[in-house]
Chains A and B, each alone.
Chain A
Amino acid sequence: MARIDLVDLAHSYGGNDAPQDSFALKPVTMTWRQGGAYALLGPSGCGKTTLLNVISGIITPSRGKILFDEVDITPLSTQKRNIAQVFQFPVIYDTMTVGQNLAFPLKNRGVPKAEIDKRVAEIGRLLDLEPYLNRKATRLTADAKQKISLGRGLVRSDVAAVLFDEPLTVIDPELKWQLRSKLKALHRELDLTMIYVTHDQTEALTFADTVVVMHDGRVVQSGTPAELFDKPAHTFVGYFIGSPGMNILPAEVRGREAKIDGHVIALNRSYDSLPASAKIEIGVRPEFVETVAPAPGLLSAKIERIDDLGRIRFARARLGDAKLAARAPAGFTSPDGTAGLKFDPSHVHVYADSLLVEGAA
């Protein structure tokens, strides 16, 4: 159990001299507190698995340091770090029983037999594996095997953190829910730091207290699910999180007004000193744009289709070249295929070169 600090950590598979643009993991400095549940979220190839492997010691970083409770463990091998990791595909030792699988990490560390038996029994109970402890592990289903992998991580009482590398990829959707709830319950019960890598936003947002969004080797935002939703720090976060993602529209912003296609949209804050050469965009979540009957003074859009998600309807609209999603209130119809758009000013954000700009009050 430990606090984890990443200090200017970076990794390049091409070596330290490679240009920084090609780094799989660009320099990052952050702190993960003891007992937190973190998710590393991002699309394939964004560097999240690299970061995880750097923490577990499978990869030695090209640059920077990792501290566990302020002790530099960067040069230590995986065996010496107190880390548990659960991989994408269940790893079980074929010739052993479930119980022997769970005991393996303890046996390798020379823990006394009585202590091993006690821990294995306890973890078996926590993971509902008790009935299988004496069975060969090969014949079990994928989710039971993944639980064994997880159990091998939890069986050591001294682990600093448990790392998960997309552990539910091979699990059926129905069981995914169960296993995820199990993980949450274990997290509460055992007070462990858990770091969970995934490309599935639902998984990340339901599991973690803090979600770290990664894009192109960079950590673009780290915050609670609500923060990521309400105030994405980067257009990528806005787009990646939420379904449908945030609308990003090129605009001219002056003071408290944004101009799109010659129409003016009111903003809640004032943006006076935007960098002149930057690409200015506004971002607004579909939940905060409403389609209404066309009216003068409203931005008008062409409705392409309306997706009915049951609880809520989203209109897919076209605004010149830009595509946009907007909430279609109950009873909204568009006989001629056009609609006016009403923006909620408090949820319209301004981005300069994809980064959020904080306006003045």
Chain B
Amino acid sequence: MDKTVNQKAWFLVLPVFLVVAFSAVLPLMTVVNYSMQDTFGNNQFFWNGVGWFKELLDPSTDLGGRFLASLGRNLFFSMVILAIEVPLGIVVALSMPRQGWTVAACLVILALPLLIPWNVVGTIWQIFGRPDIGLLGYVLNAIGIDYNYVSNAVDAWVTVIVMDVWHWTSLVALLCYAGLKSIPDAYYQAAQIDGASRWAVFKAIQLPKMNRVLLIAVLLRFMDSFMIYTEPFVVTGGGPGNSTTFVSIELVKIALGQFDLGKAAALSLVYNLIILIVCWIFYTVMTNAGAERKPQEGAA
């Protein structure tokens, strides 16, 4: 059969092409363009090549120092909240009821913090933690703990971490709960017959059956905490000093505070690249975990 030559199809693809170009490709290329230039007022641009990128990776420069310090803080923050939220989420999921009206009640209560906008969460904690009028801050100081997130870096960190745990542990708990619900009763009954203790049931059945949702939970929490901006910005504004300045806060300072579009563009590209790499690692781990399961599904 002869193929009919018909180029009309190109016109049908054109709208998508335009939308993608205007919404993704052109803005990204603009950023790439900026990252190679130094910008001054009045739209004056000077070519800088890969200069900004070199500076970014060199801790001895101002830009590199700020970037690497904030990246370090960001990674530390992500590790801490993962170390708290994942085990805590599992414990919450395990202690949730399995049936009855209490299930619905628990789910609603757990979902509530997830529904609150970031800046509202920030404002809540900003006020909650104030030593003069905030309930938490006032009580802590009243019982003799010197707590002030505005002046003490450790207090600021604790506040930001507790706030994130308050806001996002629910997500981990809900995901784990879904994973737990999918375990057939026969597993628990078999474990009972095998004389398994509570801990053995958790290790042999619940944890392995949850590991896929846990992977998703870790991915989501890592990405979210790695991109965190609003909540610490509202509570501490990155301070005291630079102690809670994360990468995104640094980026906004450079881009909008100093209006150094070249530096900011280079930073955001590197930031983006890190996120892409982390995503790729997670994706690979997840698909490999899936491949390991395939023969089982085929056989059953």
Contact = CB atoms under 8 A, between A and B. Distances in A.
Given A87-B186, A93-B205, A108-B195, A142 B300 contact: yes
A96 B190 CA distance: 15
A57 B188 CA distance: 13
Contacts of B49: none
Residue of B194, B207, B209, B293 with highest tally of chain A CB at under 10 A? B194
B192 A78 contact: yes
A170 interface: yes
Contact of B299 (A85, A94, A95, A140): A140
Contact of B296 (A96, A105, A138, A170): A138
Contact of A108 (B197, B205, B292, B295): B197
Contacts of B300: 89-90, 142, 170
A141 interface: yes
Contacts of A152: 190, 194
A193 B216 CA distance: 46
A87 B189 contact: yes
Contacts of A79: 192-193, 195
A325 interface: no
Nearest to B294: A139
A39 to B, nearest CB: 20
Contacts of A170: 300
B196 interface: yes
A89 B297 CA distance: 13
Interface in B234-288: none
Contacts of B194: 104-105, 108, 152
A65 B5 CA distance: 83
Interface in A61-101: 77-79, 83-85, 87-91, 93-96
B193 A56 contact: yes
A70 B190 CA distance: 26
B204 interface: yes
A149 interface: yes
Nearest to A144: B299
B189 A78 contact: yes
Given A58-B192, A109-B195, A140-B299, A89 B186 contact: yes
B208 A95 contact: yes
Interface string B180-208: 00001011011011111100100011011
B200 A83 contact: no
A57 B195 CA distance: 12
B293 A89 contact: no
Given A93-B204, A95-B204, A140-B299, A105 B195 contact: yes
Contacts of B192: 57-58, 77-79
Interface string A122-147: 00000000000000001111100100
Nearest to B194: A105
B193 A141 contact: no
B187 A91 contact: yes
A93 B208 contact: yes
Contacts of B200: 104, 108
A139 B184 contact: no
Contacts, number: 67
Contact of A141 (B189, B292, B299): B299
B193 A138 contact: no
Contact of B204 (A56, A104, A145): A104
A138 B292 contact: yes
Given A94-B209, A138-B292, A58 B299 contact: no
B292 A83 contact: no
Contacts of B196: 104, 108
Contacts of A140: 299
Nearest to B200: A108
Contacts of B195: 79, 105, 108-109
Contacts of B208: 93-95
A149 B187 CA distance: 11
A78 B191 CA distance: 10
Contacts of B205: 93
Contacts of A104: 194, 196, 200, 204
A87 B190 contact: yes
B38 to A, nearest CB: 55
A89 B204 contact: no
Given A85-B190, A89-B184, A138 B197 contact: no
Nearest to A79: B195
A293 B285 CA distance: 75
Interface string A325-350: 00000000000000000000000000
16 contacts: A58-B189, A78-B189, A84-B193, A85-B190, A87-B190, A88-B186, A89-B184, A91-B186, A93-B205, A94-B208, A96-B204, A104-B194, A104-B196, A139-B292, A140-B299, A149-B190
Interface of B: 184, 186-187, 189-190, 192-197, 200, 204-205, 207-209, 292-293, 295-296, 299-300
Nearest 3 Cβ contacts at the A-B interface: A105-B194, A91-B190, A108-B195
